[in-house]
């Protein structure tokens, strides 16, 4: 049974305080945001509608505006404080909107409304991904893009922010860091109507990742760093990032 306390960002939204700083441009853009921009640019055409699922405080919009300063953007996230922050920050941008939505039950008003839907760095933090992937594909008419941990085998794990356990010996403050197998993800995608699936290698500059790690390692747990041979890790776990580009 999935516990209700897995959404640590609802109880302590500061576990991702970097999203606020990035939205205000007080931190450099993420390496994944740079690659997302490149991936979307290849297929984007004027007047396309774009949906950001798990948008946090909306910092990815800065990168999309480099593609089209008038891009028709919608961001959704289940954390109310993130959405309030995004609405306040981008209140003068008439081409974007933000809604409180849960990836496990996205409202029907978003179904088949967007030309491109993307979801970056969220699926690994969910207790399961079958329903979320199904919901992602329901929102788009053409293309779905997501970045998550994927490998040959599935590896389910939790990162504990502290050593607090409840009376049953279960962690209290944790975040999922799940890796799902390529075969499992492909099977879920095909089951939900995917016609073509492309898997892209993750691109990043290790020095940029490590600069942020050095700045935040004592402020925030689970910050990723890069070690020899361009291997990304968080704590003791290797992060095998991959991009999935799905055509419907």
Provide the whole-model pTM: 0.93
Task: For 89-155, give the secondary structure using H, E and C.
Answer: HCCCCCCEEEEECCCCCCCHHHCCCEEEEEEECCHHHCCCCHHHHHHHHHHEEEEEEEEEEEECCCE
Q: Can you read off the two tokens belonging to residue 12?
A: 């302590």
Gap between the Cα atoms of 92 and 69, Å rounded: 13
Neighbouring C-beta atoms of residue 248, cutoff 10 Å: 17
Instruction: Check if the beta carbon of residue 224 is closer than 8 Å to that of residue 210.
Output: no
Centroid of chain to Cα 30? 12
Residue 2 confidence (pLDDT) above 60: no
Centroid of chain to Cα 160? 20
Gap between the Cα atoms of 119 and 49, Å rounded: 15
Rg (CA), the chain: 17
Please give the pLDDT value at position 131.
Answer: 98
Gap between the Cα atoms of 184 and 130, Å rounded: 9
Read out DSSP for 7-57?
-HHHH-GGGGTHHHHHHTTSSPPPHHHHHHHHHHHTT--TT-EEEEET-TT
Kindly report, residue by residue over 229-248, the tens digit of the pLDDT.
789 998 889 999 999 999 99
Distances (CA, A) of 181 to 22, 60, 110, 113: 31, 27, 28, 29
Nearest Cα residue to 173 out of 15, 1, 48:
15
Residue 112 confidence (pLDDT) above 70: yes
Neighbouring C-beta atoms of residue 240, cutoff 10 Å: 15
Please give the pLDDT value at position 9.
Answer: 64
What percent of the chain has a predicted confidence (pLDDT) above 90? 82
Q: Which residues pair with 114 in a beta bridge?
A: 140
Place of tokens 């995004």: 86
Kindly report, residue by residue over 115-156, the tens digit of the pLDDT.
999 999 999 999 999 999 999 999 999 999 999 999 999 999
Dihedral over Cα of 243, 234, 86, 208: its sign: negative
Kindly report, residue by residue over 79-94, the tens digit of the pLDDT.
999 999 999 999 999 9
Instruction: Check if the beta carbon of residue 179 is closer than 8 Å to that of residue 150.
Output: yes
């Amino acid at each position: 049974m999935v516990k209700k306390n897995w959404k640590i960002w609802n109880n302590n939204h500061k576990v991702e305080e970097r999203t606020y700083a990035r939205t205000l441009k007080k931190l450099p853009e993420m390496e994944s945001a740079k690659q997302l921009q490149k991936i979307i640019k290849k297929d984007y055409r004027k007047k396309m509608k774009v949906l950001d699922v798990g948008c946090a405080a909306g910092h990815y919009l800065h990168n999309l505006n480099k593609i089209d300063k008038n891009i028709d953007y919608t961001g959704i996230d289940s954390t109310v404080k993130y959405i309030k922050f995004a609405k306040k920050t981008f209140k003068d941008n008439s081409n974007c909107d933000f809604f409180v939505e849960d990836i496990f039950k996205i409202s029907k008003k978003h179904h088949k409304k967007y030309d491109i839907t993307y979801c970056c760095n969220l699926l690994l933090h969910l207790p399961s991904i079958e329903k979320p992937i199904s919901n992602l594909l329901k929102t788009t008419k053409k293309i779905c893009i997501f970045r998550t941990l994927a490998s040959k085998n599935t590896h389910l794990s939790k990162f504990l922010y502290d050593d607090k356990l409840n009376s049953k010996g279960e962690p209290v403050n944790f975040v999922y860091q799940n890796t799902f197998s390529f075969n499992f993800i492909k099977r879920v995608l095909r089951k939900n109507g995917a016609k073509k699936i492309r898997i892209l290698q993750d691109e990043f500059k290790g020095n940029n990742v490590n600069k942020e790690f050095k700045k935040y390692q004592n402020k925030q747990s689970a910050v990723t760093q890069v070690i020899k041979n361009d291997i990304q890790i968080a704590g003791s776990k290797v992060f095998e990032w991959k991009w999935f580009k799905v055509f419907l």
